[in-house]
Amino acid sequence: MALRPSPRRSFYIAVFRSVDHSEAWCWEIRRKRKPMGVRLWQGGFRSHRAALSAGKAALEDFLNGLAMDAGSPVRDPADVC
């Protein structure tokens, strides 16, 4: 049985300048091995440090949500109706 990588090691924060070349900074949550399929990001920060701090907080919330989902029992969709 192969070990699965920890979700905490699979995601990271990228910080970059806004694409419209303004002075604003943005953060984005990315997955290392394959793209996520959706973009999780926020912009409008005045500094790299502010964007990184906000991104780290968002990543922590995201990872905590993944951990809660992983601990939830799997429900059969037929049981909902």
Domain definitions of the chain by residue range: 9-48
How far apart are the C-alpha atoms of 22 and 25, rounded to whole Å? 8
Q: Given a cut of 50, is residue 79 above it in pLDDT?
A: no
Q: pTM value?
A: 0.74
- At 16 the pLDDT is 96
Mean pLDDT of the chain: 83
pLDDT band at 49 (very low <50, low <70, confident <90, very high): very high
